[in-house]
Homo-oligomer: A and B are copies of this chain.
Amino acid sequence: MDIVNYMQQVGEQARVASRLMARASSAQKNQALRLIAAAIVRDAALLQAANELDLEAARTAGLEPALLDRLTLSEKAIGTMAEGLEQIASLADPIGEITDLKFRPSGIQVGQMRVPLGVIGIIYEARPNVTADAAGLCIKSGNATILRGGSEAIHCNKALALLVQEGLAGAGLPLHAVQVVETTDRAAVGQLITMPAYVDVIVPRGGKGLIERLVRESTVPMIKHLDGICHVYIDDKADLAKAAAIAFNAKCHRYGTCNTMETLLLARAVAPVILPELARLYAQKQVELRCDPEALTLLSGYPHLLAAQESDWSTEYLAPVLSIKVVDGLDEAIAHINHYSSQHTDTIVSEDYSRALRFLREIDSSSVIVNASTRFADGFEFGLGAEIGVSTDKLHARGPVGLNGLTSVKYVVFGHGEVRE
């Protein structure tokens, strides 16, 4: 197989399909989503058989249990995929919406119309559910998409692709609106990220190392975040009951997510009161605490205690590990966060009005939170209805990215024969 030619063909087909998708009606797009959901439920056994081929190969290759687990397409996971597509169908169609249509002194009426981006390339790991999710979001937002999932899931992804195309055909939409890259050759990724003529944006999902490499090599813009080094700052004007609940939830609700707290900052005045209380909670979960000298003293006797190294302040643990630092107050907290944060999500716990507003304004992160867990930074919790990923960049989309992140706007002008004087 000639990878360069193959990917060029995939790209050309996607570009042609994207023009047709841009003018698809809401009814057609929703019909396609519902047909795909029904086909997935109908062919559950077939999908699981394809998944079994992937799992066998993965076991032979000695894949880690955690990765095997993510690769597995359970009956429940199949149901969730279908439900997800139904949910996307029930969201409002963002495309064609015209906002801010205003008359100008010249007589013309100017507004902005929401339009698809065009062709979206999605690069992800061996998680079959992402295939259905990503296809669904791209169809709804009127884009064509090229999906490159982890090679370990290739059989399952190809089987899903057939069902997606069945749904597209049933709704009268172009088959090439969703294409799964049919080769596991890594060179295909290299091609995908260097075809700006055919691909308008890349959404990479995966580890920091993979994404850093893609960013270096890509000539196509990306919607991405590298890591989530999220902070909670407990102010000396905090409600300590809220503070304990938030600091516990932000660390222990789930360890492997990008919006999990990795560093806890505490104002000096309340650290001696709140830290021992938090230590009792963290001890139940055997959370390892990596502390600056002051916190170390306050926590002496805690069973999983370590002195923090400089590198701890910029490490995403994705594990029951937490770095802790005592600060003077708000100014030092803001300075620490703006220096070490990955600009993902940061929380202040405080009952002080002016400090809460300063934190909201001065923390330079994608999601800035007062008095709630960092774990809320998520497309569903924020009300976007769905999420294709999170962006920590400032251009285009920032924070959790839903359907609107896969769109652009163009200016539209309704005139009546006006000319410039």
B contact residues around A106 at 8 Å (CB): 376, 381
User: Is B382 within 8 A of A110, CB to CB?
Assistant: yes
**What 1/0 flags go to A233-249 for Cβ under 8 Å of B?**
00000010110011011
| A253 and B419 in contact, given A362-B23, A364-B22, A413-B368 (Cβ under 8 angstroms) | yes
Interface residues of A in 355-374 (CB under 8 A from B): 360-362, 364-373
User: CA separation between A349 and B104, bound complex, in Å?
Assistant: 19
B contact residues around A368 at 8 Å (CB): 113, 410-413
Is A414 engaged at the interface, CB distance under 8 Å to the other chain? yes
Interface residues of A in 81-110 (CB under 8 A from B): 96, 102, 104, 106, 108, 110
User: Is A398 within 8 A of B408, CB to CB?
Assistant: yes
User: Is B249 within 8 A of A420, CB to CB?
Assistant: yes
Is A65 engaged at the interface, CB distance under 8 Å to the other chain? no
| A372 and B412 in contact, given A201-B395, A395-B395 (Cβ under 8 angstroms) | no
User: Is B376 within 8 A of A418, CB to CB?
Assistant: yes
User: CA separation between A412 and B371, bound complex, in Å?
Assistant: 11
Q: Which residues of A contact B (CB under 8 A)?
A: 19, 22-23, 96, 102, 104, 106, 108, 110, 113, 115, 117-118, 200-201, 221, 239, 241-242, 245-246, 248-250, 253, 338, 360-362, 364-373, 375-377, 381-383, 394-396, 398-400, 408-420
- Which of A249, A398, A414, A419 has the largest number of chain B CB atoms within 10 A? A419
B contact residues around A361 at 8 Å (CB): 22-23, 96, 113
| A413 and B96 in contact, given A246-B419, A376-B108 (Cβ under 8 angstroms) | no
28 pairs of residues in contact across A and B, judged by CB atoms under 8 Å: A19-B338, A22-B364, A23-B362, A104-B382, A106-B376, A108-B369, A108-B372, A108-B376, A110-B383, A113-B360, A113-B361, A200-B394, A246-B417, A246-B419, A365-B410, A367-B413, A368-B410, A372-B413, A372-B419, A373-B418, A373-B419, A373-B420, A376-B418, A377-B413, A381-B420, A382-B411, A394-B408, A400-B411
| A413 and B376 in contact, given A381-B108, A383-B102, A395-B395 (Cβ under 8 angstroms) | yes
User: CA separation between A206 and B338, bound complex, in Å?
Assistant: 35
A141 CB, nearest partner CB in chain B, Å: 13
A270 CB, nearest partner CB in chain B, Å: 16
B contact residues around A416 at 8 Å (CB): 242, 371-372
User: CA separation between A253 and B249, bound complex, in Å?
Assistant: 63
B contact residues around A382 at 8 Å (CB): 104, 110, 411
- The 10 nearest A-B residue pairs measured at CB: A372-B415, A242-B417, A249-B419, A371-B415, A394-B408, A375-B420, A369-B413, A367-B411, A399-B411, A372-B418
A355 CB, nearest partner CB in chain B, Å: 14
- Nearest B residue to A100, CB-CB: B383
B contact residues around A367 at 8 Å (CB): 410-413
A13 CB, nearest partner CB in chain B, Å: 17
User: Is B249 within 8 A of A375, CB to CB?
Assistant: no
- Nearest B residue to A248, CB-CB: B419
User: CA separation between A410 and B420, bound complex, in Å?
Assistant: 37
